[in-house]
Structure 1
Amino acid sequence: MSYVMNDAASFADESADGFVAAHRDLVRRVRGGVARATATPPGQVAVVIGGGSGHYPAFAGLVGPGIAHGAAMGNVFASPSTQQVVSVARAAASDAGVLLTYGNYAGDALNFDQAQDQLRAEGIPCQTVRVTDDICSAPAGEQEKRRGIAGDLVVFRAAGWAAEQGLDLESVAAVAARANERTRSIGVAFSGCTLPGADEPLFTVPPGTMAVGMGIHGEPGIETVPMATARDLAELLSSRLLAERPETAGGTSKVGVIVNGLGSVKSEELFLLYGALVPLMEQAGLTIVDPEVGEYATSFEMAGLSLTLVWLDDELEQAWRSPAYTPAYRKGTVELSTVATALAPEEAASDVEAIAAASEEAAAAGVQVLKGLDAIKDVIDREADELGRLDAIAGDGDHGIGMQRGARAAAEAAAAASAANAGPGTVLVQAGDAWADKAGGTSGALWGLALRTMGQQIGDAEAPAAGAVAAAVSAAREAVQRTGKAEIGDKTLVDALVPFSETLAALTSERRGLAQAWAEAAAAATSAARATADLLPRLGRARPHMEKSLGTPDPGAVSFALAVTAVGAVLDAYDLKEN
């Protein structure tokens, strides 16, 4: 697949810059994403949406009157970082508070939840509604585990309308939550998509077949069936959605319909499918209200489509029919103000805080931390394609690219901190913040948290002894498990992190030198990572396709083992203090 781009690593940022340049009357660039060109009126709740890049018009294309006030934009197929969400929310917030709403993916939930906590701590009222419309991603009784796909549009429209009515934060969240509860979606793919810079698609579909239940990040479908005619496809999709009619819909006979193209299916084909759906809806006793046929949540060039139904009550019908004016979605008539509310120019944000020089001993330890992070960057650069291949078997295939973005950003931030004679704690904290901010996603958030926790534990007073390093790793492990909720056996990086931490702690307590203890702990992590091939995933995007992952090690555990092994190779050159 060919892309118009300069460099794959800068694809999302440069695309966002061009988007803003093309729509300056509606949006402005803010750190972490975009916000409306005008300030949110006092008393109006700000609706902030977001997710990974690669799904246009979700999410930036839906910022404007009638829908969202801002969009946090992560890298390609990666959730925005906590700091990106916080930054966009601050830019959009009014005195009435902020509603965060987004598709229910592990990385998004992790980062948006942390952002919510931070915003509340800053005195900004904040609530969250996750979109869970994809019926193929979890059973009917576990809707809270489902992911969000094209049903995002329904929830975003409802939230935006409620905010425009002047409802308070709790009421806006309630309308959005009701819209989500009444929305169901299902999708099919005819071919996979290829990420910018990648040589192969994230997944393939055998010729003459289609994958039912694929995700917008390239997660493979839950079943492969023979290619169908438009009539048969309409019957397949509609019958499965109608079988999931929400209990709260009662006698509702009005539905909103979205026929969403995922990238390569053209408008004529979508209209053809919609035409086949109309009699099926009529036979089911349903009246279609203002159908939407087009692209609303895409996946680069994926050949595929999805069908969404929302069972409307009177209030949701008002929201569904209401006017909106955004770069990618326009309905009805919106009176745009000719005089924008004055906005203070954004202050330039520095990626590196003011750094105090440490003692000569501590600064030397900071240099060694930098060497370790450089070693991680090098091994991830070398293994990124293989990590992506492992991830694509049951996930979305972007783990290698995400790790690469994070490791590079961490090494760059560490270099800047070390150049300022920072101690080991500050180098780790700066690296962790950069990793989380640039990588996004679940692994980005957890790696960032781990490095920051280690840095805070170690500090800058002196070069850390082996026991202090082990204690810092243990603190990082606790933070990762507390935040990510994973346990041993869930088939995540925790399966390698825990034996690494426990082995390191045990050996350093026996007064082993750090280099030897680290090497043995890294070997334990490598062995544990390999053993994840025998596990079935219980968390994350691979969970709906757990059988496909059997026999393949978890990419997060593998990348962790690679990283700590690489760090071990540079420890021999550093004589650490005795315990």
Structure 2
Amino acid sequence: MTRLWNDPASFADDVVDGFVRANGRWVRRVPGGVSRSTRSAEPEVAVVIGGGSGHYPAFGGLVGPGLAHGAAMGQLFASPSAQQVESVVRASEQGRGVLLTFGNYAGDVLHFGAAQEAVRKDGIDCRTVLVTDDIFSAPPAEQHRRRGIAGDLTVFKTAGAAAAAGYGVDDVERVARAANARTRTMGVAFSGCTLPGAETPLFTVPEGRMAIGLGIHGEPGIELTDIPSAAGLAELFIRYLLGAAELPDGITARGARVVPVLNGLGSVKSEELFVVFSRVAELLEDAGVELVDPQVGEFCTSFDMAGVSLTLFWLDEELERLWLAPADTPAFRTGAVDVASLQPVTDDGGGARPAEDDALPESSEDSRRAAARIAAALEAMRLAIDDEAAELGRIDAIAGDGDHGIGMQRGTAAAAAVASSLAARGAGAQTLLERAGDAWSNRGGGTSGAIWGLILRTLGEHLGDAEHATGALVAAGLAAAKDAVTAYGKASVGDKTLVDSLVPFADTLAARVAAGDGLADAWREAAEAATAAAEATANLLPGMGRARTHGEKSLGVPDPGAVSLALIARRVHAVLDTAAAATA
């Protein structure tokens, strides 16, 4: 388990603080993560990586000459927010374009995608390459759906070397895609991991058993088996990774050149890894594969998870040259970087004041009263999630990664705190909702952070800072939020996501308001519809998100995102009901 922390809620921030203090030769802190503390003599395409914290040395440990230019670092096991990614991009780009590359997870795709669009509006040529190396997260024909795990390293290194060699953004993107297409990873785990402050692990593996294909966040494996010997594990890895279905297009094992990366996920130690690798190397050589620059160690961890993964990176001439090119970062060093040519970065990384400290736009008295009620509703949401966080985590762990409750706690707490401060300062409804949404997105991270941030911001746009917040405006705002969420996340009713409860909630609210109901009464009907829909998700198979790969495990269990939305709807109704009674 994780034993050392100050405040679990600030653990990720504390990690970045200590990491930067220990590695100032390579990195400087910028809002949202880290960026290089030096620049090459000539401008380069900026390679910006990132993801949730808790996987060191991914992602900050791979920032430095010859590799990444910046890393956006989210909360524990949760993607960085769009604002964090955008901040790191702006601190790292050098006028030649940007490549965003990260593991293929729903929250990361949403947040990095939003950041990409934001910087493109300012004329920055920004591209994206997703890492999809985990062979057990989708079949070979659906490689675009696969997760990114320890194979991140091969894509990041190749792209960083291309940037250092002076490649333009088109070619940096090209070689990153080529590296991803030639990277395959398989992982196993023997036990789960425990987040700071948590009393139990995110997931468990039965004593004496091994989960095959388990993800780095605790996503369930494909099957359980007895723990093999070190040689037996090596044979399992090679049997899958050298199978015809997993060889990249155009690759024949005999005569091919490959970089093997044997990765410890946290509590499997180097000595054990070396024992496993001895047999891995022997089996690869027996198959006629030529080993190039083998890597054994920790490259993508998961706190104290007991697990191992093997990555095979199949080379061509260009990829081999880029892989072997010099790099100098806190956690990955190879060759000799010309440090004498590096120039220190002297700016402050573009740090901005928190939004709640900015001057407030003008607002009407009606809007300020609405903002106070919204702040009360957000506080009620925070309390509701606090009460049910453990249960939300439990149902999420059945087919997901078990952190939905934790993420919702972070998000609601941040939103409620910002809303309380802004209401006290006299903010209008739009300003309060937009800034609370940004706070939720930033602190909550992940898919739920992106979606709830979008819901609050969209509602705020409809309410404005000058208008009277009528039931019709609220219903229209939430209908627009429903449309924005479905367009943004691409989920539909029936995919077993938050959308399954959001759609009936927004539709029922709009219908009841149109029929003449007051907001409190209409909201009660909508909350009941959302609750029934959330319960009905127990009978669905997931079509989106991390749970999709293990959908059968979730049959009989409702979707945690749908459940948390319904829970929030019920608690907000209590606030509206109290307000309606007070004005009756």
Q: Go from structure 1 to structure 2 and tell me whether the alpha carbon gap of 1:114 and 1:576 turns closer, same or farther (over 3 Å shift).
A: farther
Question: SS where residue 541 of structure 2 aligns?
Answer: coil
Secondary structure (helix, strand or coil) at the match of 1:290 reads coil
Give the residue type in structure 1 aligned to 2:316.
D
For residues 88-134 of structure 1, the C-alpha deviation after alignment (integer angstroms, 9 at most, x for no partner) is 01000011111000000010011111111111111111111100000
For 2:563 and 2:40, locate their aligned partners in 1 and report how far apart those are by CA, in whole Å: 45
Q: CA separation in 1, counterparts of 2:351 and 2:210?
A: 48
In structure 2, what is the equivalent of residue 280 of structure 1?
A: 283
1:260 matched to which residue of 2?
263
Q: What is the aligned counterpart of 1:355 among 349, 354, 360?
A: 360
- Aligned residue for 1:258, secondary structure, equals strand
Unaligned runs of 5+ residues in structure 2 are none
Show the counterpart of 2:537.
Answer: 532
Please say if 1:417 is aligned against 2:422: yes
Matches within 5 A, 1:549-564: 549-564=554-569
Q: Which one-letter code corresponds to 1:245 in the other structure?
A: L
Q: Match for residue 427 of structure 1?
A: 432
Q: 1:257 aligns to what SS in structure 2?
A: strand
Could you tell me how far apart the structure 2 residues matched to 1:405 and 1:60 are?
22
Kindly provide the amino acid, as one letter, of the partner of residue 272 in structure 2.
E
Distance 1:322 1:166 in 2: 13
Distance (whole Å) between structure 1 residues aligned to residue 350 and residue 43 of structure 2: 25
Conserved in 2, the CA contact under 8 Å of 1:42 and 1:94?
no
Q: Structure 2: how far apart are the matches of 1:338 and 1:181? A: 33
* Correspondence 1:331 to 2:345: no
Within-5 A mapping of 1:199-348: 199-243=199-243, 244-249=246-251, 253-337=256-340, 340-348=343-351
Describe the shift of the 1:109–1:342 C-alpha distance in structure 2 as closer, same or farther (beyond 3 A).
Answer: closer
Deviations 1:470-514 (A, max 9, x none): 111100000000000010000000000001011101100111011
SS of equivalent residue, structure 2 residue 199: coil
What are the superposed Cα offsets for residues 544-572 of structure 1, whole Å, 9 maximum, x if unpaired? 11011111100000000111111100102
Contact 1:252 1:311 (8 Å CA) reproduced: no
Higher mean C-alpha deviation, range 72-81 or range 566-575: 566-575
How many Å separate the matches in 1 of 2:61 and 2:345? 23
1:69-98 deviation line (CA, Å, top 9, x unaligned): 000000000000001000001000011111
By how many angstroms is 1:246 displaced?
Answer: 0.6
8 Å CA contact 1:362–1:461 kept in 2: the answer is yes
Report matched runs for 1:440-459 at 5 Å.
Answer: 440-459=445-464
Q: C-alpha distance in 1, partners of 2:104/2:331?
A: 22
List gaps (5 residues or longer) in structure 1: none
Q: CA deviation at 1:356?
A: 2.4
Equivalent pairs: percent with the same residue? 58
CA distance in 2, matches of 1:117, 1:324: 30
**How many residues align structurally?**
578
Q: Is the 1:40–1:93 Cα contact (8 Å) retained in structure 2?
A: no
Deviation per residue, 1:282-323 (Å, 9 max, x gap): 121101000000000000000000000011001111122222
CA distance in 1, matches of 2:514, 2:382: 29
Asked if structure 1 preserves the Cα contact closer than 8 Å seen for 2:65 and 2:327, the reply is: yes
What secondary structure does 2:292 align onto?
Answer: strand
Alpha carbons of structure 1 residues 388 and 268: separation in structure 2 relative to 1, 3 Å: same
Partner of 2:113: 113
The answer to whether the Cα contact below 8 Å between 2:104 and 2:131 also exists between their aligned partners in 1 is yes
**Aligned pairs for 1:397-412 within 5 A:** 397-412=402-417
One-letter amino acid of the structure 2 residue matched with residue 117 of structure 1: E
| Residue pair 1:465, 1:576 contacting (<8 A) in 2 also | no
TM-superposed CA distance for 1:344, in Å, is: 2.0
SS in 2 for 1:166: coil
State the secondary structure of the residue aligned to 2:330.
Answer: coil
Distance 2:228 2:192 in 1: 18
Distance 1:2 1:178 in 2: 37
User: C-alpha deviations, 1:141-197, integer Å up to 9, x for none?
Assistant: 000000001100000110011001100001001001000000000000001111112
- Give runs of ≥4 in structure 1 deviating > 3 Å: 39-43, 575-578
Residue 160 in 1 paired to residue 160 in 2? Answer: yes
8 Å contact from structure 1 (residues 258, 293) kept in 2: yes
Tell whether the 8 Å contact from 1:435 to 1:447 is kept in structure 2 after alignment. yes
Return the alpha-carbon distance in structure 2 between the equivalents of residues 342 and 73 of structure 1: 20
**Paired residue for 2:494?**
489
- 9-18 or 249-258, which moves further after superposition? 249-258
Matched residues in 1 for 2:354 and 2:60: separation?
23
- Aligned-partner residue type, residue 279 of structure 1: E
Q: Secondary structure at the match of 2:337?
A: coil
